[in-house]
Amino acid sequence: MEAGGLFQASVPLGLYTSFSVCAPCGLRAVEGVIGLLDMPDTFLDPGRVKAGLLWFTGGFVEYRFPYRSGPPVRALEFSMELGSDAPGTSPDWPSAISIWVNDVELGSWTLRASRYRQDEPRGGWARYGSDHGELTNWRVTSAGSFLDGQKISSVSLADLQLDAAQSIRLRIGVAADATCPGGVNIFGRGFGHHDQEIIMRLETQD
């Protein structure tokens, strides 16, 4: 979608283009678990296209968004619902979650735990693990990188080298040197509190 200097694109959770994950890990669709739990090879299962929830303890998943050169970019944003408490583990499960764009780390965010659960979780999933996360907004401008309005690093648009890119690569994961490597949940359509895919917004100058 493009209008008035704003381009927006979204990608379903299961359409990652690259991954490297460690167990515990898994994929779930509204209809049920996809493949086998705690088997990283399940992330190759064709059924992943229906995934609305995925989780892993270490590693990453990477997505590609369309990009074409045009007017100067003013801001790049990503919106997604993330959680830290992996299925089958303690609800008090802090994790440092990192975001990379075009192989450049924007920063990390330590989510302590889900603060509450749904009154009527889908299919009783809360008995096994997380049923929601926190909606996060990651924004990059010429002034640096921001998470929910708070500056988290000095990484700017210039560092991402967008003009030389044919696509914008978003990587979500747990850094190898993370102080709290508690894993990550990513919520998409049919799961969480926000029922959205991973969204990219690109603002250009008039």
Domains and CATH numbers, the chain: 2-204 (2.60.120.260)
pLDDT over 90 at 94, yes or no: no
Q: Exposed/middle/buried for 33, CB within 10 Å: 0-12, 13-18, 19+?
A: middle
Are the C-beta atoms of 145 and 138 separated by less than 8 Å?
yes
Over residues 168-206, the pLDDT tens digits come to 999 999 988 877 777 899 999 999 888 899 999 999 987
- CA–CA distance from 199 to each of 11, 143, 158, 194 (Å)? 7, 22, 21, 12
In this structure, the number of other CB atoms found within 10 A of the CB of residue 132 comes to: 22
Compute the average pLDDT of residues 7-12: 96
Residue 104 exposed, middle or buried by CB count within 10 Å (0-12, 13-18, 19+)? middle
**Taking the complete model, does pTM exceed 0.95, yes or no?**
no
DSSP type of residue 3: E
Amino acid at 71: P
**pLDDT of 101 above 50:** yes
Give the count of alpha carbons within 13 A of 50, CB side only.
Answer: 12
Two tokens, residue 74? 């003013």
**Per DSSP, what are the bridge partners of residue 136?**
80
**What average pLDDT does range 8-12 have in this prediction?**
96
